[in-house]
Structure 1
Amino acid sequence: MSAVFESVAPATNSEERITFSATGSEYFRIWIVNLLLSIVTLGIYSAWAKVKRNQYFYGSTQLAGSSFEYHGNPVAILKGRIAALVLFGGYQLAFQYSLAAGIVMLVVFLAAMPWMIWKSLQFGLYNSSYRGIRFGFGGSLKDAYFHYLLLPVVSVFALGLMYPFLHHRIKRFQHTESRYGRTPFSFDATVGAFYKAYFGMFLLLVLGGGLITVAAIVLGKMLQPTMGHMSAAIGKGAGLTLVYVYLFCLMYAFMAMIQNLIWNHTQLGPHRFRSTMKGPRLAWLYVSNTLGIILTLGLFIPFAHVRALKYRLESTALIVSGSLDDVVAGSQGDVGAVGDGMADLAGFDLAL
């Protein structure tokens, strides 16, 4: 069964920006109900909470005048989470029984991880749609084991030198195997671009750390005549504070750089994406969110979530080449949610 949606971008090379209309106050009502019901039901309602949250966020995300939709089945998600709990429970019990049994369960879990990620990608994309056309993921299980097990194991023995290569290969796998209806996404960033980004951050880390260390030593020497033995402690404290601030800023600058690198090299058919995320803006967003959560004893969490998601989404646009006509939805079979539930509990960030 197929469907063709009407033209949404008649102009050539027009820019369609993603907009996000969710508000913290609206999401707070959803969040607090989800939280209370999940507590009362000992976590059972969390599957329904996920569906309600995603439906609200997807429906609040617009591109070219139309919203996205989420179709996840809470019963299927609950089944996946029950299976995940059984797996994690067995893992915990095995270590209490014996070290050998724990190691065996750990190996089993690591061996199952690529399958979990693969099923999660299938489930998440299949249950997302835009203008009635569903997304999909066509990567094979063999490719999932190659990218999420073999390459990570090899990179461990390379002492981190392969990590930019691994990051590139995983993103290329995720993006090139994704599709919108029958229209595939593509990814043309080079491995060299990832190494350049990582090397740049490493260089800034070394140079910045060195300068801060020198500044702390100089400060201690300057204070020594007046502060005596306290000067060293003051210099060390100032140095550590500057290091934490610098690392925090550097981390979010790197996050922005990587998001821009990935999405500026991603296309949907002939249409390409453009990301303009700024590191300083992202850092301030998370600093202010953290302060808000602390000062409100957690009640600011839904507002923080909306603020962060709004900035991330609205930093992205689709540069339409010609029009978005003739995107046809391909027929797909149902995808189970066991892997999706397991990936949720394992804390993986699988967002494309």
Structure 2
Amino acid sequence: MDNFQNNDFSVSQQSSSSTLQLEFRGSGSEYFRIWIVNLLLTIVTLGIYSAWAKVRRNRYLYSSTHLGGSSFEYHGNAIAILKGRIVAFVFVFGYQLAFRFSVPLGFAMMLMMVAVMPWLVWKSLQFKLYNSSYRGIRFGFRGTAGQAYSTFLLWPLLAGITLYLLAPVLHQRLKRFQHNESRFGSTHFSFNAGVGQFYWAYLVGIGILLAGVIVICIGFGSTVMALFAGGHGDKFDVAAAASFGLFIFVLYMWMFAIYPIFLTLLQNLIWNHTKLGDHQFKNNLQWGRMTFIAITNILGIVCTLGLFIPFAQIRSLRYRVESLQLEVNGSLDDFIAETQEQVNATGEGMADLLDFDLSL
């Protein structure tokens, strides 16, 4: 699961239906205090505190996220996260150092990184879900190492060989693996979006991108041509140069604005085809709202020299989470009680399995 993946995450159940909506009971100012302390301590300790910073941040975000009157909890261990980051650092440092000694050694190190990375991602997914809980019941991940290598090694290679024509297939396989193999207690998630639906989302996103680029190029076509054709000798057309600068700026802003559209298409597709047992998720992100949040966040970060970052993160996360609903088939309390009984009967059996987090 991507994330649980905001000024306020809280939950209310609609009396007229069995639909539960996620919210967030935190604030940008609270998160700013956590963020600034984490940042300063991470700098002072040369990055070592970053593992404890992650635990502190996640505990705040999880505890602020509510569903049906109860919050989520994060149980990650900072030492385990630090070990994962040390492993990642050793691999990256070794990769950089190997090429300084010899090219063959560098390629050997690169192949070793490629070979071990799916296993590390698999363990990280296990760690992340097992250390998340709701109403005292842990999440979990049952996927195997073989599935991880197929998802994170085979399909990326195939996508690269086909010049990423198989990128939607890769994306669908990745989400199918993540969601199908995740569980809440003994109840499993399921994912039923097909490859064709991912191709359609990609085509729509790329089509909107290209349409915008074409319109921008047509609108600025004459002024851009004037920049190259209007100069004579030492003369320089300042107006044409200014128009060209504006053209680049508008083009960049369109590239930036298209990301929320693409994100909206994909997140709605993914969660609208995800279930927890018999309970269906529904997602209703609006690209206009996503784009507004993204643009105003960037402006706030630039104008405050970065101090708006935690507020921007909360604004974006709040909207994404509060767009997600769970349509409960029956009573959530009955479902939780039944799940708790099943967990108590079977036992977790996971405590000694997971003590590692790559912290992707």
TM range (shorter): 0.7 to 0.9
- Could you tell me whether the CA contact under 8 Å between 1:18 and 1:314 is conserved in 2? yes
Which residue of structure 1 aligns with residue 83 of structure 2? 79
Matched letter for residue 308 of structure 1: S
Give the stretch that moved more between structures: 129-138 or 87-96. Answer: 87-96
Give the stretch that moved more between structures: 230-239 or 318-327. Answer: 230-239
Q: Compute the RMSD of aligned alpha carbons.
A: 2.4
* SS of aligned partner of 2:339: coil
| Deviation readout 1:222-279 (Å, 9 max, x if unpaired) | 9999xx9556435433432332222222221011110011001100011111111111
Say whether 1:327 aligns with 2:339.
yes
Which residue of structure 1 aligns with residue 74 of structure 2? 70
Task: Map residues 12-51 of structure 1 onto 2, 5 A cutoff.
Answer: 14-51=18-55
Deviation at 1:138, TM superposition (A): 0.5
Give the stretch that moved more between structures: 150-159 or 173-182. Answer: 150-159
Which residue of structure 2 aligns with residue 284 of structure 1? 292
Matched letter for residue 217 of structure 2: T
Deviation at 1:218, TM superposition (A): 4.5
Matched letter for residue 148 of structure 1: F
* SS of aligned partner of 2:210: helix
2:354 aligns with one of 316, 331, 336: 336
Aligned equivalents of 2:323 and 2:192: distance in 1? 20
Aligned equivalents of 2:322 and 2:136: distance in 1? 22
2:212 aligns with one of 204, 208, 214: 208
Give the stretch that moved more between structures: 238-247 or 269-278. Answer: 238-247
Which residue of structure 1 aligns with residue 272 of structure 2? 264
Task: Map residues 155-166 of structure 1 onto 2, 5 A cutoff.
Answer: 155-166=159-170
Give the stretch that moved more between structures: 137-146 or 21-30. Answer: 21-30
Count of matched residue pairs: 334
* SS of aligned partner of 2:108: helix
Aligned equivalents of 1:93 and 1:337: distance in 2? 28
- Could you tell me whether the CA contact under 8 Å between 2:55 and 2:78 is conserved in 1? yes
* SS of aligned partner of 2:269: helix
Task: Map residues 173-188 of structure 1 onto 2, 5 A cutoff.
Answer: 173-188=177-192
Aligned equivalents of 2:112 and 2:29: distance in 1? 43
Aligned equivalents of 2:107 and 2:290: distance in 1? 40
Say whether 1:312 aligns with 2:320.
yes
Matched letter for residue 312 of structure 2: A
Which residue of structure 1 aligns with residue 5 of structure 2? none
Aligned equivalents of 1:31 and 1:67: distance in 2? 21
Say whether 1:236 aligns with 2:244.
yes
- Could you tell me whether the CA contact under 8 Å between 1:80 and 1:337 is conserved in 2? no
Aligned equivalents of 1:288 and 1:12: distance in 2? 36
| Deviation readout 1:22-60 (Å, 9 max, x if unpaired) | 111111221222222222222222211111111110000
Q: In 2 relative to 1, CA 221–81 (structure 1 residues): closer, same or farther, beyond 3 Å?
A: closer
Structure 1: which 4+ aligned runs deviate by more than 4 Å? 8-13, 218-225, 228-232
Deviation at 1:287, TM superposition (A): 1.8
Could you say which structure has the greater relative contact order, defined with CA pairs below 8 angstroms and 6 or more residues apart?
Answer: 1
Aligned equivalents of 1:191 and 1:263: distance in 2? 15
Aligned equivalents of 1:34 and 1:48: distance in 2? 8
- Could you tell me whether the CA contact under 8 Å between 1:12 and 1:321 is conserved in 2? no
Say whether 1:295 aligns with 2:303.
yes
Structure 1: unaligned runs, 5 residues or longer: 1-7
Matched letter for residue 314 of structure 1: E
Q: In 2 relative to 1, CA 186–249 (structure 1 residues): closer, same or farther, beyond 3 Å?
A: same
Matched letter for residue 336 of structure 1: L
Which residue of structure 1 aligns with residue 127 of structure 2? 123
Q: In 2 relative to 1, CA 180–210 (structure 1 residues): closer, same or farther, beyond 3 Å?
A: same
Which residue of structure 1 aligns with residue 9 of structure 2? none
Aligned equivalents of 1:201 and 1:132: distance in 2? 40
Aligned equivalents of 2:328 and 2:310: distance in 1? 33
Q: TM-score, normalised by structure 1?
A: 0.88
Same amino acid, percent of matched pairs: 50
1:247 aligns with one of 225, 234, 255: 255
Q: In 2 relative to 1, CA 313–10 (structure 1 residues): closer, same or farther, beyond 3 Å?
A: closer
